[in-house]
Amino acid sequence: MTELLRRWPLVVAVTLAAGCGGDDEPRAAGSGGTSGSGGILGTGGGFPSGGSGGGAAAAGAGGSAYAGPTRYPAASLRSPIAPSVVARVRAIAEQAPRAEDVFMKVGASNTVNTGFFHCFAGTNVELDGRAHLDATLTHFRAGSAGGKTPFDRQSLAAKVGAGAVWSMTGSPPPVEQEIAAIDPRYALVHYGTNDMQLGVSHQSALFPFFENLSLLLDHLESSGVVPIVSALPPRSDTVAAARWVPTYDAATRAIAEARQLPFISVYGAWSPLPNQGLISDGLHGNAFNGGACVLTAAGLQHGFNTRNLLTLEQLDVTRRVLAGEAAPDVAIAHQGSGSAADPFLVDVLPFTHAGDTSLSSSRGIDSYPGCSATQDESGPELFYRLELDAPTPLRAVLLDRAGVDVDLHLLAAEPTGQACQARSDRIVQGTFGPGTVYLAVDSFVSSAGEQAGPYLLVVVRCEAGDPDCG
The predicted-structure confidence for 148-173, as pLDDT tens digits, reads as follows 999 999 999 999 999 999 999 999 99
In a domain, 243, yes or no: yes
Q: Assess whether 278 and 314 both reside in one domain.
A: yes
Which neighbouring-strand residues pair with 352?
Answer: 458
Q: What is the pTM of this model?
A: 0.88
pLDDT at 6 over 60: no
- pLDDT score of 22: 36
Q: In terms of residue numbers, what domain contains 242?
A: 83-322
pLDDT at 408 over 50: yes
- pLDDT score of 125: 98
Q: How confident is the model at residue 51 (pLDDT cuts 50, 70, 90)?
A: very low
- pLDDT score of 16: 31
In a domain, 159, yes or no: yes
Give per-residue pLDDT as tens, 178-188.
999 999 999 99
- pLDDT score of 42: 52
pLDDT at 12 over 90: no
CATH number at residue 213: 3.40.50.1110
Q: Assess whether 133 and 247 both reside in one domain.
A: yes
Q: Averaged over 42-61, what is the pLDDT?
A: 33
pLDDT at 50 over 70: no
Q: Averaged over 382-392, what is the pLDDT?
A: 96
Higher per-residue pLDDT: 382 or 43? 382
pLDDT at 62 over 60: no
Q: Assess whether 411 and 315 both reside in one domain.
A: no
In a domain, 300, yes or no: yes
In a domain, 289, yes or no: yes
pLDDT at 356 over 50: yes
In a domain, 1, yes or no: no
In a domain, 259, yes or no: yes
Q: Assess whether 108 and 243 both reside in one domain.
A: yes
In a domain, 23, yes or no: yes
Q: Assess whether 378 and 407 both reside in one domain.
A: yes
**Percent of all residues in the chain with a pLDDT value above 70, rounded to a whole number:** 86
Q: How confident is the model at residue 128 (pLDDT cuts 50, 70, 90)?
A: very high
Q: Assess whether 279 and 342 both reside in one domain.
A: no
Q: Averaged over 58-77, what is the pLDDT?
A: 72
- pLDDT score of 66: 79
Residue 147 CA to its chain's centroid (Å) = 33
Q: Assess whether 169 and 244 both reside in one domain.
A: yes
Higher per-residue pLDDT: 174 or 29? 174
Q: Which residue type is seen at 372?
A: S
Q: Assess whether 284 and 372 both reside in one domain.
A: no
**Percent of all residues in the chain with a pLDDT value above 90, rounded to a whole number:** 85
Q: Assess whether 342 and 308 both reside in one domain.
A: no
- pLDDT score of 64: 58
Q: Assess whether 236 and 92 both reside in one domain.
A: yes
Pick the last residue of a domain from 300, 322, 344: 322
CATH number at residue 364: 2.60.120.380
Mean pLDDT of the chain: 88
Q: How confident is the model at residue 67 (pLDDT cuts 50, 70, 90)?
A: confident
pLDDT at 10 over 50: no
Q: Assess whether 348 and 305 both reside in one domain.
A: no
Q: How confident is the model at residue 470 (pLDDT cuts 50, 70, 90)?
A: confident
Pick the last residue of a domain from 289, 322, 355: 322
Number of domains in the chain: 2
Of 27-41, 117-131, 348-362, which gets the smallest average pLDDT? 27-41
Q: Assess whether 137 and 218 both reside in one domain.
A: yes
In a domain, 67, yes or no: no
